[in-house]
Amino acid sequence: MQVPAPFEYERATSVDQAIGLLDRLGDTARLIAGGHSLLPMMKLRLANFEYLIDINDLAGELGHITVEPGQIRIGALTRHRELLESAVLAETFPIFADAERVIADPVVRNRGTIGGSLCQADPSEDLSAVCTTLGASCVIQGAGGRRVVTMEEFHRGPYETAVGDAEMLIEVRFPVRPYGSSAYEKVERRAGDWAVVSAGAAVWLADSASTDTDTDTGAAGGAGAIGGARPVIAGARVGLAAVGPNTTGLPEISRALRGLPPSEELYERAGTIAAASCEPVTDRRGSADYKRHLAKELTVRALRRSVARAQQARTNGGTHSSTGNGAGHRTGHGNGHPQGD
Amino acid sequence: MQVTMTVNGDEVTREIEGHLLLVHFLRDHLALTGTHWGCDTSNCGTCVVWMDGEPVKSCTVLAAMAGGHDIRTVEGLEREGRLDPVQQGFMECHGLQCGFCTPGMMMTARALLDRNKEPSEQEIREALSGQICRCTGYTTIVRSIQWAAAEEAGTRTARGAESFGHRQIRRGGLDRAEADDRGEGPELSRRHICLPARP
């Protein structure tokens, strides 16, 4: 029988109180949210704590998806299922629904949280790759106040984050830019498994002043060629999971794509950079060579789909990536299911 | 520490240790052994119960975390002596062989049908994707859930299991009722087993 070693259970009543407890108990205590990473590790004695502080009652403070001008803020206690079902994320960052559909299984997604996923810092974890791809920043709160760190600063290595013993991750912030979209591609051995390799892409386009009449070779069939002008990539980010010590962002790809019109050749070039930049190891999930192949191919597919989506959204004339529909829009546990935690 | 929660509508209070898992609380403290305890790693899904109306894997929830919440187990599916249509569907369509995965399958299925009255086969399979049947009897599990959906829809549209192409099994040329009358295979003949119609 696998059970965690004995510990004292405390239930947090507010973020401040939880931080107070962490401050007092030091590294003998750990926060527990969904528990679907921590409890298995404690059962296996890979982690042992004298105190667990249950933060599931803090959904009022930490369970939210908030749209503001220029950014979306997601509370650390927002659950996978809420991310999957969020209409505003589906519109602004479709990468979330792509990834959430293949993270664990629906029952686990009812419990697991974005904060827990990031704090677990597993190099194969998909939501971390999503946050890396989108250039997210993490808000960490401690007794002395709040600080904001980038994803690169947040993940210090496998299972290691910038969150101190007396601190907690309270929010993840995502910058929103116009005329953009995103996508996620994952290869897994079976439903709900960790990735063999995953790749996320986010692109932001801009209308080019060029009157170049070449046919757009992008996968969207030229949907973005409005008024004869070919769009160019104003910005692009690619993030990979399961091919290195952390979910990795690849700035070299961002540099290679910037300012150029999207094309299959460009995606190929980005894929080649991805394959060359990652550090996969041979394990039960596949050989290093196979994973490099996947890193390239999935990068190509994710970029292709991101560009197609951005152009499609523009063609549809939707409010894609617009945050002008009012600050403070909240979707908490808004799916009609009572969830008192 | 003391924990109080609602289980199948009844409030229960027990003295527990902080590291007790919900699955063991239900089985060992409340003797609700319908919830099975399987892989212990939140992979197999036989321990699925509802917490505030949502399926959760009770091997990965602390009993203490369930304090103050509403828990429903497979024992709570039956209402006033009447089986839930999902339970009935598992009987009608041979949705279980060894029965080990059944409680979790049925709890997830019930939650699915509460959200989606007419799920497609793909939606059913996705909903069950976190659950493992060690007999690999997925086809009949899916069919059982389709039976339940049709049964519930039948109260509105009079659509029955026939629309899914089930047929009644006949053993040795005897109808079940006949076999029962002759005292042959009474256990099996209590219910009709559904098999797919031959093309």
At residue A51, the pLDDT reads 97
Query: Reduced to 3 states, what is the DSSP secondary structure of residue A65?
Result: strand
Q: What is the mean pLDDT of residues A276-282?
A: 94
* Chain B: closest CA distance from residue A232 (Å): 38
Q: Does residue A250 or residue A88 have the better pLDDT? A: A88
- Domain ranges within chain B, ordered by starting residue: 2-76, 85-196
CA distance linking residue A294 with residue A185, whole number of Å: 10
Q: What is the mean pLDDT of residues A319-341?
A: 38
- CATH architecture observed for domain B2-76: Roll (3.10)
At residue B159, the pLDDT reads 42
At residue A209, the pLDDT reads 64
Q: Which residues of B touch A (CB under 8 A)?
A: 1, 17-21, 24, 40-43, 45, 48, 51-57, 60-62, 64-65, 67-70, 108, 126-127, 129-131
DSSP symbol at A298 = H
Please state, for a pLDDT cut of 70, what percent of chain A lies above it. Answer: 87
CB-nearest to B60 from A6, A7, A35 is: A35
CB-nearest to B52 from A36, A40, A339 is: A339
CB-nearest to B64 from A9, A104, A338 is: A9
ipTM of the complex: 0.85
**Test mutation, A102, A105, A193, chain B, max B CBs within 10 A:** A105
Task: Report in angstroms the alpha-carbon separations of A208 from A188, A215, A218, A306, B14.
Answer: 38, 14, 15, 18, 68
Q: Give one DSSP letter per residue of chain B, joined into a string.
A: -EEEEEETTEEEEEE--TT-BHHHIIIIIS--TTS----SSSSS-TTEEEETTEEEEGGGSBTGGGTTSEEE-GGGTSBTTB--HHHHHHHHTT--SS-SSHHHHHHHHHHHHHH-SS--HHHHHHHTTT---TT--HHHHHHHHHHHHHHHHHHHH---GGGGTEEE--BTTB-HHHHHHTTSSHHHHTSPPEEEPP-
pLDDT digits (tens, 9 = 90+) for B147-195: 999 999 985 444 444 444 444 443 344 444 444 444 444 344 334 445 4
CA distance linking residue A109 with residue B72, whole number of Å: 19
At residue A193, φ and ψ (nearest 5 deg) are -80, 165
- CB within 8 Å of B147: residues ≥ 6 apart: B85, B88, B89, B92, B93, B161, B164, B166, B194
At residue A244, the pLDDT reads 87
Residue A22 has pLDDT above 50, yes or no: yes
CATH of domain B85-196: 1.10.150.120
Burial class from Cβ neighbours inside 10 Å (0-12, 13-18, 19+) for residue B120 reads exposed
Q: Cβ–Cβ of A107/B52 closer than 8 Å? A: no
For residue A267, give the nearest of A302, A298, A297, A300 by alpha carbon.
Answer: A300
Q: Cβ–Cβ of A104/B54 closer than 8 Å? A: no
Give chain A positions within 8 Å (CB) of B54: 110, 337, 339
* Chain A: closest CA distance from residue B127 (Å): 6
Going from the N-terminus, what domains does chain A have, and what CATH number goes with each? 8-57 (3.30.43.10), 62-176 (3.30.465.10), 180-316 (3.30.390.50)
**Test mutation, A2, A7, A9, chain B, max B CBs within 10 A:** A9
Q: What is the mean pLDDT of residues A119-135?
A: 95
At residue A8, the pLDDT reads 97
Local confidence pLDDT in tens for the 199 residues of chain B? 999 999 999 999 999 999 999 999 999 999 999 999 999 989 999 999 999 999 999 999 999 999 999 999 999 999 999 999 999 999 999 999 999 999 999 999 999 999 999 999 999 999 999 999 999 999 999 999 999 999 999 854 444 444 444 444 433 444 444 444 444 443 443 344 454 544 4
pLDDT digits (tens, 9 = 90+) for A34-73: 999 999 999 999 999 999 999 999 999 999 999 999 999 9
pLDDT digits (tens, 9 = 90+) for A71-123: 999 999 999 999 999 999 999 999 999 999 999 999 999 999 999 999 999 99
Structure tokens at A316: 């549809």
- CB within 8 Å of A311: residues ≥ 6 apart: A205, A218, A220, A223, A224, A231
Equal CATH topology for B2-76 and B85-196: no
- Contact between B45 and A107 (Cβ < 8 Å): yes
Q: Give the nearest chain B residue to A4 (CA atoms).
A: B19
Q: Cβ–Cβ of B65/A56 closer than 8 Å? A: yes
